[in-house]
Amino acid sequence: MQVSYNKLESVLERTGMTDVKMEEIMKESLEKLRELKQQKDAVILAHYYVPDEVQDVADYIGDSYYLSEIATKVKEQTIVLCGVAFMGESAKILNPDKKVLLPEPHADCPMAHMASVENIDEIRNKYEDVAVVCYVNSTAELKAHSDVCVTSSNAVKIVRNLPNKNIYFIPDVHIILNDGYCHVHSNISSEDIIKAKKSRPDAKILVHPECKGEVLELADYVGSTSGIIEYATICEAKEFVVATEMGVFHELKKRNPDKSFYVAGNLQICPNMKKITVEKVISAMEKGQPEVILSKDFRRQAYTPLKRMLTMAGQK
Ligand code: 13P
Ligand code: SF4
């Protein structure tokens, strides 16, 4: 199936509005957001999986790593995080004195809850010299009990550079151990990829590391959302089958209007990321909430593994 995008297509499909009316609404929203950003000294960060129109109003868009990193660099006092809860929590942990708003507090990543502190304690008691490596898609509590955080764009580099003999990786089973998974990526099967390869023999297969091992084996490229976008932009091929959430198609098409992108499976939509709307972003900024609130203990303890990720990812 080919997915073609223009700027407002997804909203038009959902609302049945004409594009002229929609353009007007977007213009008004952008104007309102411009005012609110000034009044509240706020900046909008968004992940590539949020709806296209939310990506369009963001000041910075990126993968999970980029969002953590940029959150430490922006000068504004309020960070509006358009993504799921763990992303807002990471921004708050790294910026305890700033206000972090999550426009949709119920946008939560199920995988973030798929490990437990009890498992971590058990592993620590069982193995000596173990590093608990926490995929950033985890709650603040799990981060607080870990030694270092990682994202899909830096996991290999960071794990390779850890001095420890044993590594306990939480929560994604498709990377190492534990039994957590992302339902969006787990739904993509090797049969889907084989089928896509047959119908598009010239297409490059781009796969997110949260997919199953059997899918990773069939990939031409494996990487984070930013990695996939960069690879497709540099690569000379004209067709790509993309095995990750469909939100990335917006940036892929923007940067590569002459190339074609196809989904691999049928259900590449994260319902939590899609809960975030421009209206909710405006409302959060007007009301100054929902705000990310974390206990001082979690915040302090989770700071070290997150900060260590930023340091280790930046090292040569
Ligand atoms: P990245 O943006 O790090 O590739 O992660 C994808 C994801 O599933 C975020 O929830
Ligand atoms: Fe979580 Fe998967 Fe959605 Fe990312 S795409 S937020 S990992 S459920």
Q: Give the CATH number, domain containing residue 306.
A: 3.40.50.10800
Same domain, residue pair 174 and 299: yes
Query: So what's the pLDDT on residue 17?
Result: 64
Distance 173 CA to ligand 2 centre (A): 14
Query: So what's the pLDDT on residue 12?
Result: 52
Query: So what's the pLDDT on residue 7?
Result: 41
Look at residue 1 and tell me if it is in a domain. Answer: no
Same domain, residue pair 173 and 243: no
Look at residue 244 and tell me if it is in a domain. Answer: yes
- Residue ranges making up the domain that contains 118: 111-180+294-314
Look at residue 119 and tell me if it is in a domain. Answer: yes
Look at residue 161 and tell me if it is in a domain. Answer: yes
CB 251 within 8 A of CB 55: yes
Same domain, residue pair 151 and 174: yes
Same domain, residue pair 159 and 14: no
Closest by alpha carbon to 251, among 110, 113, 51, 112?
51
User: 């507090």: which residue's tokens?
Assistant: 105
Beta strand pairing call for 239-243 and 60-62? unpaired
Same domain, residue pair 11 and 85: yes
Domain total for the chain?
3
User: Which ligand ends up closest to the CA of 248?
Assistant: 1
Looking at the chain, which runs of residues are DSSP E strands? Answer: 42-47, 60-62, 78-82, 99-101, 130-135, 148-150, 166-170, 204-207, 221-222, 239-243, 260-263
Same domain, residue pair 176 and 230: no
Query: So what's the pLDDT on residue 99?
Result: 98
Query: So what's the pLDDT on residue 16?
Result: 64
Same domain, residue pair 11 and 102: yes
CB of 10 shorter than 6 A to ligand 1: no
Look at residue 2 and tell me if it is in a domain. Answer: no
Query: So what's the pLDDT on residue 13?
Result: 59
Long-range contacts at 21-24 (CB < 8 A, ≥ 24 apart): none
Atom of ligand 2 nearest to the CA of 271: 3
| Burial (CB count within 10 angstroms: exposed 0-12, middle 13-18, buried 19+), residue 21 | exposed
Same domain, residue pair 91 and 226: no
Tell me how long the chain is. 316
Query: So what's the pLDDT on residue 175?
Result: 55
CB of 151 shorter than 6 A to ligand 1: yes
Look at residue 14 and tell me if it is in a domain. Answer: yes
Distance 270 CA to ligand 2 centre (A): 6
Same domain, residue pair 61 and 209: no
> Ligand 2, residues 138, 212, 272: which to mutate, most atoms within 8 A of Cβ?
272
Predicted TM-score (pTM) of this structure: 0.90
Query: So what's the pLDDT on residue 10?
Result: 53
Rounded to whole angstroms, the Cα distance separating 209 from 195 reads: 20
Q: Hey, what are 64's tokens?
A: 């999970």
Query: So what's the pLDDT on residue 174?
Result: 42
Rounded to whole angstroms, the Cα distance separating 261 from 283 reads: 34
Residue ID of nearest Cα to ligand 2 atom 6: 109
CA atoms within a 13 Å half-sphere pointing along the CA-CB vector of 258? 6
Strand 166-170's sheet: what is its strand order? 148-150, 130-135, 166-170
Distance 181 CA to ligand 2 centre (A): 9
Look at residue 61 and tell me if it is in a domain. Answer: yes
The per-type count for the chain, helices as H runs and strands as E runs, is 15, 11
In the predicted model, residues of the chain with pLDDT beneath 70 are: 1-17, 171-179
Look at residue 252 and tell me if it is in a domain. Answer: yes
Atom of ligand 2 nearest to the CA of 210: 7
User: Which ligand ends up closest to the CA of 90?
Assistant: 1
Same domain, residue pair 145 and 96: no
Same domain, residue pair 246 and 214: yes
CB of 245 shorter than 6 A to ligand 2: yes
Rounded to whole angstroms, the Cα distance separating 144 from 166 reads: 19
Same domain, residue pair 90 and 147: no
